[in-house]
Amino acid sequence: MNDQMNDHVHDRMSESATFTEQLQDRFVETQKSLPGAHESWVRVLRKSAMDQVVSQGMPNTRHEAWKYTDVKKYLDRLLADSVEMPSLNVSEEMLTAFSFDDLDSLRVVMIDGKVSQALSSLKNIPAGVRIESMADMFAKEPDVIEAYLHDQHVSGAFAALNNAMMSDGVYLEIPDGVVVEQPLHCLFLSASGDSASYHIKNLIVAGECSQVTVIEHYASIGESTAFINAGTDVELHAGGRLEHYKLQQSGSKEVNIGSIRVHQHRDSYYHSHSVAFGAALSRRDIHVEMNGEGAECALNGLYLVGGRQHVDHHTRIDHVRPNCRSRESYKGVIDGRARAVFNGKVVVHENADQTDSAQSNANLLLSDQAEIDTKPDLEIYADDVKCAHGATVGQLDMKQLFYLRSRGLSEDEARNVLMFAFADEVLTAIKVPQVRKYLERIAFEKLPHGAELDGLLG
């Protein structure tokens, strides 16, 4: 029996070794064509990141952080060639489905992992603000981004793989004191029907007391089976403010994995909204490091999944310095045989006194086969702190349901209203009304029973 088990483990290990070898072969083949190949620091960064992938291996369910999320059956997609030319000609009209009503925004569109200058629209950018393609930055101004990327120590094989293979993405730089009124809408569209992987890298550098809203939006046209592995790095200088939306509206066969890493300097404010509706499997790792006193962050999240979808959020907030405040609220509605995972870690470092942290995760399970694995996780090494956390899993409240029905709402309508109200609490934190409305519409359409939404959305 024991021997058998050992054999089994051995098989899986050798299998995964083979896979990382293949991945490395692919890396060696493509690295010369990856942007920044002429720069030694970029080559070193990519090489050491790839070494990390090989030594660590791709995640499997024996890794604590991936215990509930099995990516195995999708990994082969990472070996497929990326699409050289988009197979679908994306027109301006096709983008209207992914735009926010009359919102006056700056827009960068990426099709299958490449920035499309033709579809992007960058008018009236305030002086000094830079919005560029990362591929261009690697090619033309690698020294500008070096400080933020060259000595990155990332945790996790996907983040490392992202550093090894990153090809394009959005670079945003805001000078000190500049307020960018128009939100920057970064639309990452999958338009190819092929299995392909995209290692998108975004970099946001917000200067002192600057202010900006960034919408990182993943969606697809047609039946994409893409494997997206994105990495977004944020440097938020003293007093800087970032409203960061991550909208995951990927196609039902896609895999969307990514990490967001945020460095906060003193008195900066980071507000993240992570909304996940789509994909066969999606996972976000959000890591916020509060490195300066007086920093504040708020992480909001909503996941609405059904069928056999799988959605995973892992967040980590590091209170490194005193007097920082963090708030986290994630909510999920899980239907069918879908599975959701939430892991929220808060680490209060030694001397990070006067830390004020609160976290909650609430879930609604709509079917017997739906599943949620939720784990709040607190590590406190300072004395004078205020930390709260809690997780709930439940069904609809029968008292509320009866109340609504007694006023004349049908049972289906009452259920929809309650589910929507539950989810909408996260969406009400969204500060751009057009974005909120867009998401509310999708959220409502995702709910079962299909009641009318006019009136409810006001």
Applying CB under 8 A, the residues found at the interface with other proteins are 397-400, 402-411, 413-414, 417-418, 420-422, 424-425, 428, 455-456, 458
CA atoms of 427 and 82, how far apart (whole Å): 35
> Shortest gap between Cβ of 317 and other proteins (angstroms)?
25
Q: How many C-beta atoms surround the C-beta of residue 130 within 10 A?
A: 14
> Shortest gap between Cβ of 408 and other proteins (angstroms)?
4
- Cβ-based nearer residue to other proteins, 381 or 402: 402
> Shortest gap between Cβ of 440 and other proteins (angstroms)?
11
The three-class DSSP label of residue 50 is: helix
Closest CA to 232 of 251, 221, 245: 245
- Cβ-based nearer residue to other proteins, 164 or 443: 443
- Cβ-based nearer residue to other proteins, 379 or 412: 412
What are the residues whose beta carbons fall under 8 Å from the beta carbon of 293, sequence distance 6 or more? 266, 267, 321, 322, 323, 324
> Shortest gap between Cβ of 331 and other proteins (angstroms)?
11
> Shortest gap between Cβ of 419 and other proteins (angstroms)?
10
Closest CA to 268 of 353, 215, 204: 204
Tokens 């809408």 locate to 185
Tell me whether residue 127 is exposed, middle or buried, using C-beta atoms within 10 angstroms of its C-beta: 0 to 12, 13 to 18, 19 or more.
exposed
Contact call for residues 362 and 444 (beta carbons, < 8 A) = no
DSSP codes joined into one string, 373-401: EEEEEEEE--SSEEEEEEEEEE---HHHH
- Cβ-based nearer residue to other proteins, 55 or 395: 395
| Residue 131: strand pairing partners | 172
Using alpha carbons only, how large is the chain's radius of gyration in Å? Answer: 22
> Shortest gap between Cβ of 398 and other proteins (angstroms)?
7
Contact call for residues 227 and 255 (beta carbons, < 8 A) = yes
> Shortest gap between Cβ of 420 and other proteins (angstroms)?
7
- Please state, in angstroms and as integers, the Cα–Cα distance from residue 436 to each residue in 19, 167, 223, 454, following that order: 41, 31, 26, 15
Closest CA to 127 of 175, 89, 80: 175
> Shortest gap between Cβ of 399 and other proteins (angstroms)?
5
Contact call for residues 150 and 219 (beta carbons, < 8 A) = no
> Shortest gap between Cβ of 407 and other proteins (angstroms)?
4
CA atoms of 363 and 374, how far apart (whole Å): 9
- Cβ-based nearer residue to other proteins, 11 or 411: 411
- Cβ-based nearer residue to other proteins, 21 or 412: 412
- Cβ-based nearer residue to other proteins, 80 or 409: 409
Q: How many C-beta atoms surround the C-beta of residue 79 within 10 A?
A: 14
- Cβ-based nearer residue to other proteins, 124 or 406: 406
- Cβ-based nearer residue to other proteins, 184 or 426: 426
CA atoms of 222 and 90, how far apart (whole Å): 11
- Cβ-based nearer residue to other proteins, 76 or 411: 411
> Shortest gap between Cβ of 192 and other proteins (angstroms)?
39
- Cβ-based nearer residue to other proteins, 64 or 454: 454
The three-class DSSP label of residue 12 is: helix
What are the residues whose beta carbons fall under 8 Å from the beta carbon of 320, sequence distance 6 or more? 289, 290, 291, 349, 352
- Cβ-based nearer residue to other proteins, 102 or 458: 458
Alpha helices in 150-282 (DSSP H): 157-165
> Shortest gap between Cβ of 98 and other proteins (angstroms)?
26
H/E stretch holding 170 reads strand 170-174
> Shortest gap between Cβ of 199 and other proteins (angstroms)?
39
CA atoms of 63 and 255, how far apart (whole Å): 19
